[in-house]
Amino acid sequence: MEPDVAEFATTFHRFMEAMSRQGDRSGELTELGELVASFLGVPLADVDPVTEAFPTHQIVDVDLALETVRTENDGRLVGVSGGAFKSSVDSFGELLERVHWSFKPGPVAYVRMPTGPDSDRRVIGFGVVLVHIDDQPVVWLQRTPSQQHGRDQYTLEVLTARPSVAETVLARVRELMARHSVLRGQVVSFHATTSTTTRRAGP
């Protein structure tokens, strides 16, 4: 066998072995996945995520609502470390299972969003909350839109062993959003990728 061909065959064989080992690890959890599974107390395969999306002009409202739910129940907020790849994943589950990258707890990512013509608020851009609600462990991921990755809405993905508890969380979030909306008394104008708010004239 020619030296170049032999070298290629050896390299290719090593590559295939590495890919095989990677495939064998597909059922393993990342550090973040281990944290979430331990908190929930059940295998992640037994938990179906409940997802809700919100338009850009509601980002501040949903962030405020989720912060209220978290603080009411003494929840823990953590970020996700894993480089820029974390923004490219399609679902919460991909952050929890070791497929291509190893995601682990890290710093929370924040972004600033307008709340009026002369005001704004720092909201969670990428963060995970671990909290007990009605004595049941609940974990959720909240993250801002990413047009380059095909996400044009703010998403909330809730994990809990009891679907009814997830619905309780979402109902509470909607209630708080309606009650404390920063858009009340303002006119919302839309643009291609952002929304702005303007104060309504009059009392």
Question: In the predicted model, is pLDDT for residue 14 greater than 80?
Answer: no
Structure tokens at 54: 């919100």
Question: In the predicted model, is pLDDT for residue 145 greater than 80?
Answer: yes
Using only C-alpha atoms, the chain has a radius of gyration, in whole angstroms, of 21
Question: In the predicted model, is pLDDT for residue 89 greater than 50?
Answer: yes
Cβ neighbours of 87 (radius 10 Å): 17
Is 73 buried (19+), middle (13-18) or exposed (0-12) by CB count in 10 A?
Answer: middle
Least confident of 36-45, 64-73, 96-105, 128-137: 96-105
**Mean pLDDT of the region 149-169:** 93
Least confident of 9-13, 149-153, 171-175, 188-192: 188-192
Residue predicted with more confidence, 116 or 103: 103
CA distance 196 to 1: 68
Q: Is the pTM of this model over 0.95?
A: no
Confidence at residue 189, expressed as pLDDT on a 0 to 100 scale? 45
What band does 1 get if pLDDT is binned at 50, 70 and 90?
A: low
The DSSP symbol for 184 reads T
Question: In the predicted model, is pLDDT for residue 110 greater than 70?
Answer: yes
The DSSP symbol for 135 reads T
Least confident of 23-37, 53-67, 71-85, 189-203: 189-203
